[in-house]
């Protein structure tokens, strides 16, 4: 609020006494607040889809043919028709059937794990972009242990493998934590570089006797034994990982907002120097952050291994390392927000795959549309300006994520 005294006086005279932000916020009823909080993301999604529609329309070969022949209306009709068809399939493939919901859920699980991992470390002011490596090491540990303990009943086998997968990611993640805590090494550089170390180390490990599938010259591990696999609904791909990851989200929320550790972590994130002054061990906090964040990313790799990709191959982690950052920021670094962000991205993914198979739109266009939607959703100021939505009152959580979210 940067109004001049003259303005404030004018408002008092007009019967609008200035209030503090908190009072202003409290004054509004819950539905109004909810509407206001949701307005920006919803409008952002809408704008992203709109721009995406234009891109799809322009990508239609018929569009340019019509335009060349001066048939402007037909040209726009073609473009709009293609875009409409594409979005119809996007939506239908993400939510149109039980199968679609199952696919969306499967896509959401790893995104949510890595999103929680990134959000947790960002909250502590630790800009960990090493989820890729932690994901891989979680999966590598899990595949080794799943087969080491082969023959156990699933009810014991699965939890053991999950915990060991967590530890695998945590060990790899804590390297960067220790480096920062002990030497002050910049974690952006160390986590990024450790990704490369992890990727190529894994590529090599895959052709060593410990990991390589026996009798196979390819860089591929053995399949995880069936008793370690997470149970799935018969005929669908949706699996128990959905419940596990939601439980993790709640646990992370609880740690962040209901425990001393969470308070210390957020204090370090807000101001490390002040935290030191207050008697918090910043070094230990960094290590703890990376143990948990690394573990969560490791769990992402583990659940992926125990569900859809039952063996580790060089390209195993896909783009999850970078998706982690997107999901965390989209979710405003709040565990509950991250759930929604992962779900949004997951539904775009499952929708995009159906959209591609139904409309034969080039895959690149789908990636562009996803990027556009995400770019708008992470630019709330732009959306507010376009749609002239008033700035909602600042909340505590936003101040932590400034510069990353909004």
Does 30 participate in binding another protein (rule CB under 8 A)?
no
Among 36, 39, 99, 185, binds another protein (CB under 8 A): 99
Nearer to another protein, 269 or 321 (CB): 321
Output DSSP code: residue 269.
Answer: H
Quick one: 96 exposed, middle or buried, by C-beta within 10 A (0-12, 13-18, 19+)? middle
In the complex, least distance from residue 77 CB atom to another protein, rounded to whole angstroms: 7
231 binds another protein (CB under 8 A): no
Give the one residue of 82, 230, 289, 339 binding another protein; rule: CB under 8 A: 82
Q: Which residue among 310, 326, 347, 378 contacts another protein (CB under 8 A)?
A: 310
Please enumerate in sequence order all residues whose Cβ is within 8 A of that of 59, keeping only pairs 6 or more positions apart, or say none.
Answer: 82, 361, 362, 365
User: Under the criterion CB under 8 A, does residue 303 sit at the interface with another protein?
Assistant: no
User: For residues 31 and 234, which CB has a smaller minimum distance to another protein in the complex?
Assistant: 234
Interaction mask 364-393, another protein, x per CB under 8 A: x--x------------------x-------
Among 123, 180, 349, 384, binds another protein (CB under 8 A): 349
Q: Which is nearer to another protein, 82 or 244 (CB)?
A: 82
Name the residue nearer to another protein (CB basis): 355 or 392. Answer: 355
Residues 165-224 within binding reach of another protein (CB under 8 A): 217-220, 223
List binders of another protein among 320-339 (CB under 8 A). 320
Task: Quickly count: other Cβ atoms within 10 Å of residue 165's Cβ.
Answer: 32
Least spacing, CB of residue 383 vs another protein, in Å: 12
Please, which residue, 60 or 325, has the CB nearer to another protein?
A: 60
Q: How many helices (H) and strands (E) does the chain have?
A: 18, 0
CB of 239 to another protein, least distance (A): 12
Contact window for another protein (CB under 8 A) among 72-80, 154-162, 193-201, 264-272: 72-80
Cα–Cα distance for residue pair 231/303, rounded to 1 Å: 11
Q: How far is the CB of 42 from another protein (least distance, A)?
A: 14
Among 7, 319, 381, 394, binds another protein (CB under 8 A): 319
When binding is defined by CB under 8 A, the residue of 59, 78, 128, 264 that contacts another protein is 78
**Closest approach of Cβ 116 to another protein, in Å?**
18
Which CB atom, from 80 or from 178, has the smaller least distance to another protein? 80
Binding site for another protein (CB under 8 A): 47, 49-50, 53-54, 57, 60, 62, 76-85, 87-88, 93, 97, 99-100, 103, 106-107, 110, 217-220, 223, 235, 237, 304, 308-311, 313, 315-320, 349-350, 353-354, 356-360, 363-364, 367, 386
């Amino acid at each position: 609020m940067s109004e001049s005294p003259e303005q404030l006086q004018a408002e008092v005279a007009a019967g609008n006494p200035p209030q503090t932000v908190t009072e202003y916020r409290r004054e509004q009823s819950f539905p109004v607040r909810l509407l206001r909080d949701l307005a920006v993301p919803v409008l952002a999604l809408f704008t992203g889809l709109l721009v995406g529609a234009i891109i799809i329309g322009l990508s239609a070969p018929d569009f340019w043919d019509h335009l060349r022949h001066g048939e402007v209306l037909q040209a726009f009709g073609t473009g709009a028709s293609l875009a409409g068809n594409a979005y119809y399939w996007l939506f239908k493939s993400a939510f149109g059937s039980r199968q679609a919901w199952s696919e969306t859920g499967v896509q959401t699980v790893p995104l949510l794990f890595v999103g929680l991992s990134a959000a947790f470390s960002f909250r502590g002011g630790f800009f960990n972009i090493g989820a890729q490596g932690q994901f891989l090491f979680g999966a590598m540990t899990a595949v080794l242990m799943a087969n080491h303990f082969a023959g156990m009943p699933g009810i014991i086998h699965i939890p053991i493998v999950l915990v060991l997968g967590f530890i695998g990611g945590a060990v790899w993640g804590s390297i960067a934590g220790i480096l920062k805590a002990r030497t002050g090494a910049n974690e952006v550089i160390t986590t990024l570089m450790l990704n490369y170390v992890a990727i190529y180390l894994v590529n090599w490990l895959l052709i060593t006797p410990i990991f390589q599938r026996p009798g196979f010259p390819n860089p591929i591990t053995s399949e995880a034994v069936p008793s370690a696999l997470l149970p799935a609904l018969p005929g669908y791909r949706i699996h128990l990982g959905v419940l596990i990851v939601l439980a993790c989200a709640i646990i992370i929320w609880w740690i962040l907002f209901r425990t001393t550790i969470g308070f210390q972590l957020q204090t370090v994130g807000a101001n490390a120097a002040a935290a030191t002054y207050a008697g918090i061990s910043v070094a230990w906090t960094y290590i703890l952050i990376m143990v948990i964040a690394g573990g969560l990313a490791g769990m992402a790799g583990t659940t992926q291994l125990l569900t859809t990709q039952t063996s580790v191959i060089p390209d195993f982690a896909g783009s999850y390392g970078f998706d982690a950052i997107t999901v965390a920021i989209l979710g405003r670094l709040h565990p509950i927000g991250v759930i929604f962000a992962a779900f949004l991205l997951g539904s775009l993914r499952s929708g995009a795959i159906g959209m591609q198979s139904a409309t034969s739109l080039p895959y690149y266009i789908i990636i562009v549309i996803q990027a556009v939607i995400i770019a708008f959703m992470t630019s709330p100021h732009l959306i507010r300006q376009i749609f002239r939505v008033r700035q909602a009152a600042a909340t505590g959580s936003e101040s932590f994520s400034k510069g990353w979210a909004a």
